[in-house]
Amino acid sequence: MIPAPFEYFAPATIDEALGLLREHSDAKVLAGGQSLMPALRLRLAAPDTIVDLGKIDELRGVRDDGDVLVIGAMTPHSVVQASPAVNEHARLISLATATVGDPQIRHRGTFGGSLAHADPAADLPAVAVALDASFVIAGTQGRRTVSAADFFQGVFSTALGEDELLVEVRVPKYTGWGAHYEKFNRVAQAWSIVSVAAAVRLDGDSIAEARVALGNMGSTPVRATAVEEALVGRPATADAVREAAARAADGTSPVTDLNGDADYRRHLATVLTRRAVLAAAGTA
Amino acid sequence: MTRITVKVDGSSFTDEVEPRTLLVHYLREQLGKTGTVVGCDTGNCGSCTVHLDGRSIKSCSLLAVQADGHEVTTIEGLGSNGQLHPMQQAFHENHALQCGYCTPGMIMQSIDLLADNPDPSEDDVRLGIEGNLCRCTGYQNIVKAVRAAAAAGGAQ
């Protein structure tokens, strides 16, 4: 199928894009389009207006800002994946990005687009929550910053207002931390049934700090704080990690769907958390 | 209608297109480049893969207007002077196709893969063509062809 007709704009600046969003109340923002295009073609979405961010150069690129890495919202996954700075300071992002879609999708799909889409089964939202990233949002009144935990509000729903844009994501540096992204799905390209993003800092043989977040265990990514607390101060051994990972599903309410029921997801969360934390500790 | 200028297989085209026109439909129906095919129409199968500014993309998941000012290479732009591209030659020699429908996309993606990794292992090839589905070959000969092209210096 082809999309329903729409009016198309390709602004060259963020301000121009914000103006268009204010003027057109039914406008949809087009980033890389790897989720939006299929939705348009299946006519799951039929907006009157499309505002394409593809010509706004200031939204692209990764830069170092002291203690923080700044990733422009329109930076393609393939660029994030290949970035030495991301690999050094936020390896969890490199690892998770390498599993998004397939190579063609990673050439077009963008870091910010994937986050703003807020699919509960997507890879990057849980990573952003695990790493305590901050989301910089531009509106006609200026800019505001929202934590990853507050950005994701529900299925396909975020803190972004209708006339606002996600412009960049600020990620604290986790230099020297071990990281691993573990997801479980049935076939290539399938969405995760459950995914786990883990980063740990070791002090000798024991875990000094841990960040663990779960994907698709609810309508938004879930930070597994019980696991993090249970890991701190413990040795990075199979037994200790297994014990901590047993709490991964505490307080979660995953959905039951054709890929698995809620109990299955809760069990999977503990298994994948154990694998992710052990693998992360192994690379620290 | 929106006016776009796109370089396709070395020639520049300026056309009026409806914004909702997919790049693959523009290539096939407006430019007559039917070498690029539409398979699944849902972004999964990869048979419509072309290069945009030298990187592989699925042309069913891009609007023609998004290609404005950019350069597209299709399967039709690969060979020169009657000579097959080394990747096409390797597919031919290794019997890497049966019905042939996935082949244009497989070849475009395989060339992209070698640009990143000139000497891929069997696993690297399988992962690199993850976004391209073949329902005939079982992939064995496709993987063989990509590695043969790499060995023959097909990365250029």
| Cβ contact, residue pair B42, A108, below 8 Å | no
Supply angle C-alpha A220, A225, A227, rounded to 5.
Answer: 115
The tens digit of pLDDT for each residue in B49-89 reads 999 999 999 999 999 999 999 999 999 999 988 899 999 99
What interface predicted TM-score (ipTM) does this complex get? 0.96
The pLDDT of residue A262 is above 70? yes
State the Rg of chain A over Cα. Answer: 19
B11 and B71 assigned to the same domain = yes
- Which residue range(s) make up the domain with B54? 2-77
What's the mean per-residue pLDDT of chain A?
Answer: 96
Residues B73 and B124 both lie in one domain: no
DSSP state of B44: S
CB-based contact (8 Å) between B21 and chain A? yes
The whole-number pLDDT of residue A189 equals 73
Last residue of some domain: B50, B77, B104?
B77
pLDDT value for A284: 73
Q: Is residue B98 a part of any domain in this protein? A: yes
Which residues in B lie closer than 8 A to residue A108 (C-beta atoms)?
A: 52, 57-58, 61-62
Do the beta carbons of residue B74 and residue B9 sit within 8 Å?
Answer: yes
Of B18, B61, B128, nearest to A38 by CB-CB distance is B61
Query: Which residues of A touch chain B, with CB atoms under 8 Å apart?
Result: 1-8, 10, 30, 33-34, 37-38, 40-42, 50, 52, 54, 78, 101-105, 107-108, 188-189
Domain ranges, ordered by start, for chain A: 7-52, 62-171, 178-283
Query: Is B95 contained in some domain?
Result: yes
Q: How far is CA A48 from CA A14, A21, A133, B68, in A?
A: 20, 12, 33, 21
**Res A270: pLDDT:** 98
Q: Are residues B18 and B68 in the same domain?
A: yes
Query: Which residues sit opposite A199 in a β-bridge?
Result: A179, A211
Best B4, B63, B129 residue to mutate vs chain A (most A CBs within 10 Å): B63
Q: Is B113 on the interface with A (CB under 8 A)?
A: yes
Q: Which of B77, B102, B121 is the last residue of a domain?
A: B77
CB contact B20 to A (< 8 Å):
yes
Question: DSSP per residue over A50-92, as a string?
Answer: EEE-TT-GGG--EEEETTEEEEETT-BHHHHHH-HHHHHH-HH
CATH of the domain at B68: 3.10.20.30
Note the pLDDT of residue B155. Answer: 57
Residues B63 and B104 both lie in one domain? no
Query: For chain B, what percent of residues have pLDDT higher than 90?
Result: 92
Chain A residue with Cα closest to B132: A102
- Of chain A, the percentage scoring pLDDT greater than 90 comes to 95
> Which residues are bridge partners to A212 per DSSP?
A198
Contacts of A105 in chain B (CB under 8 A): 43, 58, 61, 131
Mean pLDDT of A175-193: 91
Please check the confidence at residue A31 and state whether its pLDDT lies above 60.
yes
Q: Based on the fold, state whether residues B27 and B71 are members of the same structural domain.
A: yes
- The reply to whether B21 and B64 lie within a common domain is yes
Q: Is residue B156 part of a domain?
A: no
Would B91 be classed as within a structural domain?
Answer: yes
pLDDT of residue B41: 76
Instruction: Tell whether B22 and B71 lie within a shared domain.
Output: yes
Domain A7-52 = CATH 3.20.20.120: no
Q: In what order do the strands lie in the sheet with B71-73?
A: B11-17, B2-8, B71-73, B49-52, B55-58
Residues A85-113, mean pLDDT to the nearest whole number: 97
What class has domain A178-283? alpha beta
- Which residue is associated with the tokens 């030659």? B89
Q: pLDDT class for B156, splitting at 50, 70, 90? A: low
Q: What integer pLDDT is reported at residue B109 of this predicted model? A: 98
Same domain? B8 vs B58: yes
B65/A37 touch (CB, cutoff 8 Å), yes or no: no
Task: Provide mean pLDDT across the span A272-280.
Answer: 98
B41 at A interface, C-beta within 8 A: yes
Extract the tokens encoding A195.
């995914």
Amino acid at A93: I
Contact (Cβ atoms closer than 8 angstroms) between residue A10 and residue A52: yes
Q: Is residue B127 part of a domain?
A: yes
What is the distance in angstroms between the Cα of A85 and the nearest Cα belonging to chain B?
A: 19
pLDDT at B31: 98
Q: What is the pLDDT of residue A186?
A: 85
> Do B55 and B96 share a domain, yes or no?
no
Distance CA A193, CA A263 (A): 12
Q: What is the DSSP letter of B48?
A: T
Please say which residue of B77, B100, B129 terminates a domain: B77
* pLDDT score for A175: 97
**Could you tell me the CATH number of the domain that includes residue B127?**
1.10.150.120
Average pLDDT over every residue of A25-36 = 96
Q: Are residues B11 and B69 in the same domain?
A: yes
CATH C-level class of A62-171: alpha beta
Mean pLDDT of A4-28: 97
Residue B84, classed as helix, strand or coil, is coil
Mean pLDDT of the region A54-70: 97
CA B74 to chain A, closest CA, distance in angstroms equals 14
Residue of A nearest to B60 (CA): A37
Per residue in B106-154, pLDDT (tens digit) is 999 999 999 999 999 999 999 999 999 999 999 999 999 999 999 998 6
Enter the pTM of the model. Answer: 0.96
Per-residue pLDDT tens for A123-134? 999 999 999 999
Residue type, A158: T
pLDDT grade for A105, boundaries at 50, 70 and 90: very high
Domain count, chain B: 2
Return the SS3 of B13. strand
